[in-house]
Structure 1
Amino acid sequence: MEIKEITSNKKQFLELLLLADEQESMIDKYLERGEMFALYENGLKAICVVTSEGDGIHEIKNIATSPAFQRKGYGKKLIDFLFEHYRDRSSAMLVGTGDVPSAISFYEFCGFSVSHRLKNFFTDNYDHPIYEDGRQLVDMVYLKKIF
């Protein structure tokens, strides 16, 4: 397994990024200002983008695993890498997700705790309804891990 930082041509990973954030204009808001990491193990398995939000806070803006390799631990391995990578320059890591049990439980399994929510985030910021696990997303749930 190898995790590489991607510093140029980040749009080459757009297809994978769209799995976690299905509107390209939303990805464009953070892609270039974020640090991108790709996890490889006999090919690309997962990708993520992390931004600095100031005051030692970093946020996972996008994390996605190729569909054929989901639920095999690659997302967790990438998050574990991020905690190690940012440990000396971060006081907390945030991640926002849809209000669905599968996503929230994944991040809790990775050491995050529910922090707060942004009401109507998905309905106010996307040009079409977003669905996950069969339900329409409305609020963004933020989870946080303190270093």
Structure 2
Amino acid sequence: MEIIKVTGSKKEYIDLLLLADEQEDMVDKYLERGEMFVLNDNGVKAECVVTKESNGIYELKNIAVQPDCQRKGYGKALIKFLFSFYPDFRTILVGTGNSPVTLNFYKSCGFTESHRIRNFLLTIMTIQYIKMGNSLLT
């Protein structure tokens, strides 16, 4: 299994991103300004896009796992990779729907619910780490 940063031809991977965000025009708004990562394990199994919002604050705009590869640890592996890829992060944000399965996934990765946007069916999750030497504490 390897995770690679995609620096060109990001649209080549749009089909998988559209599983998580069904509106291509919305994906286009963050795709070019974001950093894309692809998890390859004998083929692309998962991918994500992350944007830098300000110093130490990042947003996970999209994470998607091939349907037949879900619940096999690929999503968690990708998120764990992000924690080490962005050593300056203080907060990683993710906006997600209110599905219990999705919320439980993010909670199992260390995210906590920040707030909900009424009448929008969106929950904002955050993960904040305090760096203490080489260890991370939530």
| TM-score (norm. length: structure 2) | 0.90
Residue in 1 that maps onto 2:115? 116
Give the aligned length. Answer: 129
Partner of 1:96: 95
CA drift of 1:31 comes to 0.3
Where 1:72 maps in the other structure, the secondary structure is coil
Question: Hey, what does 2:68 align to over in structure 1?
Answer: 68
* Distance in 1 separating the partners of 2:122 and 2:94: 10
Counterpart for residue 135 of structure 1? none
Distance in 2 between residues matched to 1:119 and 1:85, nearest whole Å? 33
Separation in 1 of the partners of 2:36 and 2:118? Answer: 27
Hey, what does 2:135 align to over in structure 1?
Answer: none
Aligned to 2:127: 145
1:17 Cα deviation (Å)? 0.3
Name stretches of at least 5 consecutive residues in structure 2 with no aligned partner.
130-138
Matching residue of 1:43: 43
Q: Calculate the aligned-residue CA RMSD, in Å.
A: 0.9
The answer for the alignment partner of 2:132 in structure 1 is: none
Equivalent in the alignment of 2:78: 78
Report the TM-score, using the length of structure 1 for normalisation. Answer: 0.85
SS at match of 2:42: coil
State how far apart, in whole Å, the 1-side matches of 2:63 and 2:108 are.
15
